[in-house]
Amino acid sequence: MKIILDLLLLLLIIIYSYLESLVKVFIPQRRKSVAGEIVLITGAGHGIGRQTAYEFAKRKSRLVLWDINKHGVEETAAECRKLGATTHVFVVDCSNREEIYSSVNQVKKEVGDVTIVVNNAGTIYPADLLSTKDEEITRTFEVNILGHFWITKALLPSMIRRNHGHIVTVASVCGHGVIPYLIPYCSSKFAAVGFHRALTSELEALGKTGIKTSCLCPVFVNTGFTKNPSTRIWPVLETDEVVRSLIDGILTDKKMIFVPSYINISLTIERFFSFALYQVEEVPFYYYFDESLHQE
């Protein structure tokens, strides 16, 4: 009897998800304006960070762009200025806590209080656990999750005072399911999803309803760091497709942004039936990575 009730519950969840998507097609959600908002984007020198900067520039936001790559972030800034956006560039290593705090203080003095932050900087080292260097594991966590803590801690006080802001966590579908040969990356993304959920809950408990949170969870994205990326089931996403979903989620205050959106249903089904998600030989999500991939 219990399994029948559980199956009915699963069916209701799937039907609800499809109906919700259908309603959104005919009744678009109201989108907020981000004109004049001070937007800090980490990892803005390429990929998702760069495209996100372009989209905010088109919407007349004031941009603060961070990246460890000076050449890349300056290229992004130049294009944003062509789009009419006031843009400030900072070369920042998001694995370095003191550098983060120092840069945030500099931003406050030179630009003002950040009202939207997109924690996008990330790194990845595909290899089996025993072949992964200790320093690669450390750096993965320093960039992919600890950097989120330091940046958010530095920016949150001004948001709380105004009860206004938006904190965006760029995670991954790997924060909900696992892939072999990416143990540090998956672990850091699980932490990023947990960070988003816990932060969202804490802000609600504090009554800071004016501070919004969003978490981006795409499947594999072709950011140019992998040669001939391929998957057996899920599509390989292009950066502009992911960023369109991200911007739409930010403007509608969506808490969890899956790309493609149907991944949410797939994950629900997989969790429900307890498929061999943790068995290496099954290769969950059917991802195949080239060893030349080092950053996202």
Structure tokens at 59: 């919407």
Is the pLDDT confidence value at 59 over 60?
yes
Percent of the chain with pLDDT over 70: 74
User: What pLDDT, in 10s, does the model give residues 206-263?
Assistant: 999 999 999 999 987 766 554 455 455 556 778 999 999 999 999 999 999 998 877 6
Residues 6+ apart with CB under 8 A from 88: 62, 63, 64, 65, 77, 107, 110, 111
Choose between 96 and 268: higher pLDDT: 96
26 inside domain: no
Which range has the worst mean pLDDT, 8-22, 71-85, 164-178? 8-22
Note the pLDDT of residue 11.
Answer: 63
Is the pLDDT confidence value at 10 over 50?
yes
Residue type, 294: H
Is the pLDDT confidence value at 88 over 90?
yes
Is 185 among the residues known to form the active site? Answer: yes
138 inside domain: yes
Q: Whose CA is closest to 182, among 222, 270, 122, 242?
A: 122
Mean pLDDT of the chain: 84
User: What pLDDT, in 10s, does the model give residues 103-155?
Assistant: 999 999 999 999 999 999 999 999 999 999 999 999 999 999 999 999 999 99
Note the pLDDT of residue 268.
Answer: 57
Q: Which one is catalytic: 125, 181, 185, 287?
A: 185
Q: What is the DSSP letter of 290?
A: -
Residue 185 domain boundaries: 31-278
22 inside domain: no
182 inside domain: yes
Is the pLDDT confidence value at 291 over 50?
no
Query: How far, CA to CA in Å, does 221 sit from each of 2, 37, 267, 289, 291?
Result: 39, 28, 18, 11, 15
Note the pLDDT of residue 205.
Answer: 97
Q: Whose CA is closest to 170, among 224, 119, 100?
A: 119
Q: What share of the chain is helix, strand, coil (3-state, %, to 5)?
A: 50, 15, 35
Is the pLDDT confidence value at 271 over 80?
no
Note the pLDDT of residue 211.
Answer: 98
Choose between 14 and 83: higher pLDDT: 83
Which range has the worst mean pLDDT, 13-17, 26-30, 246-250? 13-17
73 inside domain: yes
Q: Which residue has the tokens 């924690």?
A: 119
Is the pLDDT confidence value at 7 over 70?
no
SS3 219: coil
Note the pLDDT of residue 106.
Answer: 98
| CATH code: domain of residue 214 | 3.40.50.720
Note the pLDDT of residue 176.
Answer: 87
Note the pLDDT of residue 69.
Answer: 96
Which range has the worst mean pLDDT, 49-63, 123-137, 278-292? 278-292
295 inside domain: no
pTM of the model: 0.82
Query: How far, CA to CA in Å, does 108 sit from each of 36, 43, 99, 169, 237?
Result: 15, 19, 14, 21, 35
Number of domains in the chain: 1
211 inside domain: yes
266 inside domain: yes
How far is residue 278's CA from residue 280's CA, in Å, rounded to a whole number?
Answer: 6
Is the pLDDT confidence value at 102 over 50?
yes
How far is residue 104's CA from residue 119's CA, in Å, rounded to a whole number?
Answer: 13
Residues 6+ apart with CB under 8 A from 39: 56, 61, 62, 63, 64, 114, 115, 116, 117, 118
Percent of the chain with pLDDT over 90: 66
